[in-house]
Structure 1
Amino acid sequence: MSQLAPAYDLAYNGWSQAQRDEALETMTYAAGYYATVTHPNIDNAADKASNWVAVIRGTELLTHLAARGDGAYGLRDDRVAFGLTEVRRHLDEAFSDSGWNQEGWDYLNYTVGALAPVVRAAHNAGITDLDASWQRPRMAELALHTFAVRTTKDRLQFGVGERTGGISPALLGTGAADTQAAYLWLYERTNGATGGVAALANWPEGVTPTDPDSQPQLRQALLDDEAGAYHFRDRYQGDDDTLLSVSNRNENHAGWSQAESFAMSLIGQGTTWARQPAKENTN
C-alpha cells in the first residue's frame, strides 16, 4: 500500500477505469486488514515509538487519504482521525528534538520513508495535524553530523543502526533553508543519483546544493541532553573528516533497543576507529 496508494493518487488521470477499479479494490481489501491487525508494537497504548506504528498506521492513513470518497470506499473519517493521532504520537514519542531515535539510522530511514508521503498527503488534503510534529525533529541536521562524505556510506552509529547505509531521500527538503541546501549537497556526494520515486517526490525544487563548510553553524556540535546523545564533526570534505558520537541512552521506548551507556562511534582519516554493535548482541 505504501507504493500503490501514492501511485493511485498521482497517476489517477492517466490510468484506465479498469486500472483504477482494480487498485481501489485492492486498497479496500487492505483497509479491512488494517482495521483488524494487532501486534504488541502497535497495540501499546502508552508507547507509540516503535517503527511499526509509522509503517503500519502510517501506511493505513496514506491509503485512506488516497482512496477516500472514491467508488464504494467511503470517507472512513474514524480511521483517518485514528491514523492521524497514531502518526502524530509516533513522531512526538520516537524522536527527540535533535532527530535522535533509539532504533538507529536503518529504522529511522525506514520510518521516515513511510511517514514523508503521509505527511505530504495530509498537508495536500488541508490537514495540518502532523506538520508541527514532522518539522520539530532535526533529522536532516542529525544526518549532517553523523554521515561521512564517502561513497561507501560510512556513518556514526546509535541504536541498532549498522555502520554503513545511505541517507534518506525522504528527508530531502526538510529542515531550515541552510540545512536543506547542505543535506542536498551531502546526498549527492554519498547516495548520488539514486533514491527512485522517493527522491523524485521529495527533491527540493529551487534549492542549490551548498557545501556545509560554508555554514559554520552546521559544524557546531549537536548536543541532545534529552536522549543523552552528542555528535561532533570537524568539517565536510572527505575521508580525512573526523566524526565522533557518544551516547548514554537516557530514554528507553518500545521497539528495537541496544545498551548504549558510554557508547562511542569514531570515524576519521579514512577509517572507522570505534563502532557500536548494531544488532549483534541484542534480542
Structure 2
Amino acid sequence: MKAVVSLSNIGSFLVISDDGNDVAIVKLANLTHPRIVLTPTHLNFIREKINQSGHAQEVFKALIKSIYTYKPDNSFNYCWPARDAALLYTITRDINYAHIAYLALNANRINYTIYDKSAIKLRFSLSTMARSQAFDWAYDAFTIEQRRELMNDFQYTASIFTSYSDDHSRNPNDKASNWIGIVKSGELIQHLSLYGEEGYPDDQAERRILFLLNELKLHLEQSYGPSGYMQEGFSYLAYILPILGPAVYLAKHMEISIFDEAWSRPDWHNLALHIISLRQQRNSLQFGVSDSTYSYNGFMPFIFNSTNDTNIKAALKWLYDRTMGINSSSPAYDGKDKSAALLYYPYEIAAQYPSIAFPRSISMISDKIDGFYGFHNRYRDENDVLIALMNRNRRHRG
C-alpha cells in the first residue's frame, strides 16, 4: 500500500496501491463484535421477526433443529453447526449455544492441522469463513483462554493463506475461476473479522486486505457476464456466492466501497428467475459443468440485496418461497446456509408474481457478451418451459 489519503473531514480515505492506482474508498471501521451483518438494529429486527409466524420463525426453528440433529461426516463439516450455534447464541443470549459452537469449532480444528495442496484448499477456505463468523457472533461468550486458543488457529490460517498458491492465483490476466472467489473471500472474511484482536497479525492483514480487495474485484468483473452467467455453471455460482457474498457484505459493513459497482452489475436476479424451475426436485437449466438439479444452497439470499429495486426483490422472493422457502413442497431454507436465509431475506417486501412485478422475467435473456440465451415462458407449475442456449462468445475455457 503506497498511501492513504484523507478525502474529507468526516472520515473518508482513498487507498492507493504501490503502482499509484486508486484501490478503494474507506472509512474508519468499528472493530467491536459482532461485525458480520448483525448490527444492534438488525439484531433487534431479527428477534422481533422470529417471534412472529412466518419465514424467520421457521428458519429459526430449523437452525435449532440442525445443531442437534446434523451429523457431520467429517471434521470439516463441523464448521456449519459451529456457525449456526454461534448465531443462535447472538440472537437468544443462551450460553448453551455458545458451548455447542465452541465444541464444534474444536471438532473442526483438524482442518487446520492437516493441510495439503489438493482441492482441500477450497474446503479450508469455506471452513475459515464459518469459523470467523462463529468467532465473531459468539465472541463475548468465549472466555479469554478460549479466544486465545481460537486465535492460534487463525494465526496459523493467516500464514497458510500467505503461502498459498495455485494456477489461478498466479495468472495475472484471468481471475474468473471459482478458486479465486472462494479462496480470496475466505481469507478476506478472516482478516476483516479478526483485525485488531490481541495476538492477530494486523500488519500482515493490512497488506493482504488490499491485495484481496483487488483480486475479488477482478473476479467479479471477469467471471460474471452482464446476465450473471458464468461459464462454470449454476451449481458453481451457488457454490461461490455463499462465501463471496459474505465477503462483499462484510467489506461494505466495514465501509469499504470497492465492490459496490461490481457486485450490483451482474443480473443474477433475472438469471435465477429464468433458470430455476418450480419442479419439486428443484430442477434448473443445465450449463457449464453443472448438473440439472438446484440442490446447492445459499444462492438467492445473497443476491436479494445486490439490488435496490423492490420489484425485482418481490419477484425473486416469490420464486424463493416456492423453491427453497416456506411455500415450497419441502422447505430447505438453504441447507447449511440457513443463517443467510434468516439474515438476508427481504422481510419488508411483499412477494409478487414475477411476470407482473418484473416483466423481464418472461422476456428472453440475450447475453451477447458471454453467448448465453435463456427463456422462461411462465411461472405456474412444474410444466413451465425453460430453454437455454450457450455459445461461449467471451470465454472458451472450462
TM-score by length of 1: 0.85
RCO higher in 1 or 2 (8 Å CA, sep ≥ 6)? 1
1:53-99 superposed Cα distances (whole Å, 9 cap, x missing partner): 01111110110000011012143211000010011100000001110
Match of 1:150 among 268, 279, 291: 279
State whether residues 172 and 199 of structure 1, in contact with CA within 8 Å, keep that contact through their aligned partners in structure 2: no
Q: What SS does structure 2 have at the residue aligned with 1:213? A: helix
The CA deviation at 1:113 is 1.0
Aligned to 2:360: 217
| More moved, 142-151 vs 95-104 | 142-151
Match of 1:187 among 320, 339, 360: 320
Aligned to 1:226: 369
What are the residue-to-residue correspondences of 1:35-46 with 2, within 5 Å? 35-46=162-173
TM-score by length of 2: 0.61
State whether residues 177 and 219 of structure 2, in contact with CA within 8 Å, keep that contact through their aligned partners in structure 1: yes
Q: For 2:349 and 2:147, locate their aligned partners in 1 and report how far apart those are by CA, in whole Å.
A: 35
Runs of 4+ displaced beyond 6 Å: none
Aligned positions, number: 255
Match of 2:157 among 30, 37, 40: 30
Q: For 1:42 and 1:138, locate their aligned partners in 2 and report how far apart those are by CA, in whole Å.
A: 26
Tell me which amino acid in the other structure corresponds to 2:274. Answer: H
Aligned to 1:201: 343
Tell me which amino acid in the other structure corresponds to 1:243. Answer: L
The CA deviation at 1:172 is 3.2
Q: Percent identity?
A: 33
Aligned to 2:191: 64
What are the residue-to-residue correspondences of 1:73-84 with 2, within 5 Å? 73-75=200-202, 76-84=205-213
Q: For 1:88 and 1:253, locate their aligned partners in 2 and report how far apart those are by CA, in whole Å.
A: 21
Q: For 2:141 and 2:314, locate their aligned partners in 1 and report how far apart those are by CA, in whole Å.
A: 33
The CA deviation at 1:221 is 1.4
Q: Which runs of 5+ in 1 are unaligned?
A: 258-283
Tell me which amino acid in the other structure corresponds to 1:161. Answer: S
- Please identify the structure whose Cα radius of gyration is greater: 2
The CA deviation at 1:201 is 2.8
1:18-75 superposed Cα distances (whole Å, 9 cap, x missing partner): 3322222211110100000111122211100000001111110110000011012143
Closer/same/farther in 2, CA of residues 223 and 65 from structure 1, 3 Å limit: same
Aligned to 2:381: 238
The CA deviation at 1:253 is 6.2
Tell me which amino acid in the other structure corresponds to 2:198. Answer: G
Q: What SS does structure 1 have at the residue aligned with 2:392? A: coil
Match of 2:391 among 243, 248, 255: 248
Aligned to 2:303: 171
Q: What SS does structure 2 have at the residue aligned with 1:227? A: coil
Aligned to 1:136: 265
Tell me which amino acid in the other structure corresponds to 2:294. Answer: G
Cα-Cα RMSD:
1.6
Q: Which runs of 5+ in 2 are unaligned?
A: 1-127, 326-330
Q: For 2:312 and 2:368, locate their aligned partners in 1 and report how far apart those are by CA, in whole Å.
A: 21
State whether residues 6 and 66 of structure 1, in contact with CA within 8 Å, keep that contact through their aligned partners in structure 2: yes
Q: What SS does structure 1 have at the residue aligned with 2:366? A: strand
Tell me which amino acid in the other structure corresponds to 1:172. Answer: F
Q: What SS does structure 2 have at the residue aligned with 1:49? A: coil
Return the structure number with greater helix share: 2
State whether residues 57 and 83 of structure 1, in contact with CA within 8 Å, keep that contact through their aligned partners in structure 2: yes
Q: For 1:238 and 1:199, locate their aligned partners in 2 and report how far apart those are by CA, in whole Å.
A: 23
State whether residues 42 and 50 of structure 1, in contact with CA within 8 Å, keep that contact through their aligned partners in structure 2: no
Q: For 1:68 and 1:249, locate their aligned partners in 2 and report how far apart those are by CA, in whole Å.
A: 41
